[in-house]
Amino acid sequence: MLVLALTALAASKINAHLLNLARQAAHDEAHDDADAIATALQRELTQVDVITRAIRHAIEQSPDVTQEGFGALVAPLIARTPAILVVGRSRGYVVEQIYPVVGNEKAIGLDYRLVPQQLLGVDKALQFGEASLQGPVDLVQGGQAFIQRMPYYASNDSDMSRIATGIVSIVIDRDRLLTEISQSHGFMLYDIAIRSLGDDQHPINMLYGSQETFANRPVLRHVIADGSTWQIGLVPTAGWPTGSGMKNLVWALSFLAIGFLGAMILALWTMYRSKRAAESQLRSAINSIEDGFALYDSRDRLVFANEKYLSYYELSRDAIVPGNTFEDILREGLRNGQYTDAIGREEEWLEERLAKHANPTAPMEQKLGDGRWLKVAETRSPDGNTVGFRVDITELKQAREKAEAANQAKNNFLNIISHELRTPLTSVIGYARFLENVDVLPGYKALDSKLRDDASGPERLKALKVLRDEVTGMSGRITTSSDHLLALINDVLDRAKLEAETVELEIETLNIKEVVGTVTSSLGIKAAEKGIALTSDIASLPISADPKRLRQALINVVGNAIKFTQTGEVHISSDHDETHLRIHVRDTGCGIPADQLDQIFHQFVQVDTSVTRRNSDAGLGLAITRELIELHGGSVAVESEIGHGSTFSITLPIKSKALEIAA
């Protein structure tokens, strides 16, 4: 008995649970369907409003249009809206023109003052210039409908303080409009009712359906209809679920596998809730992302746009509503001056923008009228939809402009300061050269001559020689320091040119043996002063390169080798194949630690050794060398071992790419 009682209790609970699931599912489905119905009805009413305004505008432009012209105007506008029964135009209170005429002959000549049911709306339109959506009303030709009324004036310059010239009226078949919406969306299983609400949100009168629908716990939605609010009530025709439909089956199965069934129901419920939660999270996520997001369907009509997207396009926000095409939204922005690049060339800009939208490729940048910059990225989905993202890059653009300005200012400063430093430094070096060779100065020659003629000359000549040696030594140090400083200034200036990408190679055909010969000649004295050998074994080979920049790169590498070699030699050799030349500079210096080999070609980086500290510089020479060689299409590599020296290898193409292009 206890088992039966527990089984019965479990079966009852399962039935109750299934009933709750059915009711929840029915309510969820009804909510989704109510959203779709409200959206579809809002779209239809908006379309009727747009048609009415178009007809009014045309009549104000041509107030003397004939019945035939009126029909030609109206026919294409209402061709795709079957719910529109008839369009009429009155002059004052009397209907003068109608379309279609067939079947509506009774309406021609109708005096609204004789139709009390419609007179109030007509008076509002004529006397106060108010557009309205009236209904339901009984028609002269039979049936009930909604009537969209809009006043028109004799010219476009409407003066709302005077009585309107007449009224444009569009008659919408109420039942057909709502039936088509229901059928097109598959909502025939619902009882639908519509009523209008007052400013206090209390019901005023029924527009469609039965009042009982609103008494049966309906799903409610609201639609704005030309200044008034309509409330839609939706209830399943069969009523809300009162049973799960599985009662007998549950009772049967509960005795056999109540535990299993309970587990299955729990799993289904979890899956259902997870799905609903995932959908909710997805919509919430799209609305909360920091970038603008919009989705257009295969016919280029807006499906969804998040709040961030709307905030970027404030000037066209009113047009960014589901159902509007991308072109309509763009035109609204053009009318309001939203796109800076389009001013003065609106149609041409529109054509270009639509072409990019139809065939999206790489992201583009878009400047708005408020000064903001957006990065626009669009892509097509496999089913033909267009997904668009908008990212605010205003701060990035401003930072980039500031960085470019700062870089230009830095380059200008380096150019000016290098010139200002090199000019006096050249003079210092020149005078130091004179002091190094004091024997050639006229004053020194005269003093030396007088001292030689003097009886006590030998002693004084000896003192003069001591003074001469001191002056020569000091001037030598001045010259060395000045040369070092001038080299640093030249390196900084070259670095600035390379960063600004203003270094242009002057490629010509040259013999690598001759270039290396000039390098060894200019650095031979420096090597001899340190007591090390500077030798070369270079094969004669014509290559294409910039002789000045190649010589500069070789001097940097060979000079570095001499600087860091205390004893032994620096040897320059070469080898080549059909396409590339390789120059090797090997020294017997202190070597470079393995963990620092990747860093020595970086600017302002020096190897931390005692030799480096004695021969400090800015650490730019090798960085400049690498960039100059890479400009030629080559590369620089190094092999080294602590205490056993280093070998730098420069690889260059024998035939420059620049010459190949020129040929």
> Over the stretch 78-130, which tens digit does the pLDDT of each residue have?
888 888 989 999 998 899 999 998 888 888 888 888 888 888 888 888 888 88
Q: CATH code at 514?
A: 3.30.565.10
Q: Which of 476, 497, 518 is the last residue of a domain?
A: 497
Which amino acid, residue 4?
L
Cα 150 from Cα 90, distance rounded (Å) = 11
Q: Could you tell me where the DSSP H helices lie in 62-172?
A: 67-78, 116-128
294 and 279 in a common domain = no
Q: To the nearest whole number, what is the mean pLDDT of the chain?
A: 80
391 domain residue, yes or no: no
> Above pLDDT 70, what percent of the chain?
74
Cα 350 from Cα 102, distance rounded (Å) = 42
638 domain residue, yes or no: yes
Question: Has residue 413 got a pLDDT over 50?
Answer: yes
394 domain residue, yes or no: no
Q: Is the dihedral of CA 454, 459, 460, 466 positive or negative?
A: positive
The angle formed by the CA atoms of residues 372, 378 and 380, to the nearest 5 degrees, is 165
Q: Which of 454, 476, 497 is the last residue of a domain?
A: 497
Other CB atoms within 10 Å distance of the CB of residue 624: 23
pLDDT confidence tier of residue 501, bands split at 50, 70 and 90: low
Structure tokens that stand for 2 in this block: 């206890």
Burial of 555 (0-12, 13-18, 19+ CB in 10 A): middle
Other CB atoms within 10 Å distance of the CB of residue 294: 22
405 and 359 in a common domain = no
Secondary structure of residue 540 in the 3-state scheme: coil
Q: Is the dihedral of CA 324, 328, 334, 335 positive or negative?
A: negative
Q: Which of 384, 419, 452 is the last residue of a domain?
A: 384
CB 638 within 8 A of CB 600: yes
Q: Are strands 646-653 and 635-640 parallel, antiparallel or unpaired?
A: antiparallel
Closest-CA residue to 43 (of 181, 191, 182, 228): 181
480 and 623 in a common domain = no
160 and 37 in a common domain = yes
What is the number of alpha carbons within 13 Å of residue 653 lying toward its C-beta?
A: 13
Cα 465 from Cα 451, distance rounded (Å) = 12
- What is the domain count for the chain? 5
Which amino acid, residue 368?
L
Closest-CA residue to 116 (of 98, 101, 134): 134
Residue 442 CB contacts under 8 Å (≥ 6 apart), including other chains: none
The string of pLDDT tens digits covering residues 138-150 is 765 567 888 888 9
545 and 630 in a common domain = yes
- Crossing angle of helices 174-184 and 2-61, rounded to 10°: 130
Find residue 77's DSSP bridge partners: none
Q: Buried b / exposed e across 190-200, counting CB within 10 Å, b at 16+?
A: bbbbbbbeeee
567 and 648 in a common domain = yes
User: To which residue do tokens 């899956």 refer?
Assistant: 271
The string of pLDDT tens digits covering residues 470-497 is 666 666 667 666 665 666 666 666 655 5
418 and 340 in a common domain = no
Which whole-number Å values give the CA distances from 245 to 24, 142, 188, 424, 622, in the listed order? 15, 45, 22, 103, 85
111 and 26 in a common domain = yes
Cα 512 from Cα 5, distance rounded (Å) = 105
Question: Has residue 1 got a pLDDT over 70?
Answer: no
pLDDT confidence tier of residue 27, bands split at 50, 70 and 90: confident
Q: Buried b / exposed e across 209-248, counting CB within 10 Å, b at 16+?
A: beeebbeeebbebebebbeeebbbbbbbeeeebeebeeee
pTM of the model: 0.38
Lowest mean pLDDT among 212-226, 295-309, 489-503: 489-503
Domain residues for the domain of 479 are 400-497
User: To which residue do tokens 């009168």 refer?
Assistant: 205
12 domain residue, yes or no: yes
Which whole-number Å values give the CA distances from 127 to 54, 163, 171, in the listed order? 21, 5, 21
The string of pLDDT tens digits covering residues 237-260 is 878 877 665 555 555 656 665 667
Residue 622 CB contacts under 8 Å (≥ 6 apart), including other chains: 556, 557, 560, 600, 601, 636
Q: CATH code at 297?
A: 3.30.450
Continuous segment of H or E residues that includes residue 260? helix 247-288
CB 637 within 8 A of CB 648: yes
131 and 279 in a common domain = no
Which whole-number Å values give the CA distances from 321 to 43, 173, 228, 232, in the listed order? 10, 25, 19, 20
392 domain residue, yes or no: no
249 and 200 in a common domain = no
Q: What is the average per-residue pLDDT within 7-33? A: 74
Q: CATH code at 33?
A: 3.30.450.350
Q: What is the average per-residue pLDDT within 439-450? A: 68
632 and 541 in a common domain = yes
Radius of gyration of the chain (CA): 46
350 domain residue, yes or no: yes
516 domain residue, yes or no: yes
138 domain residue, yes or no: yes
Cα 411 from Cα 405, distance rounded (Å) = 10
544 and 522 in a common domain = yes
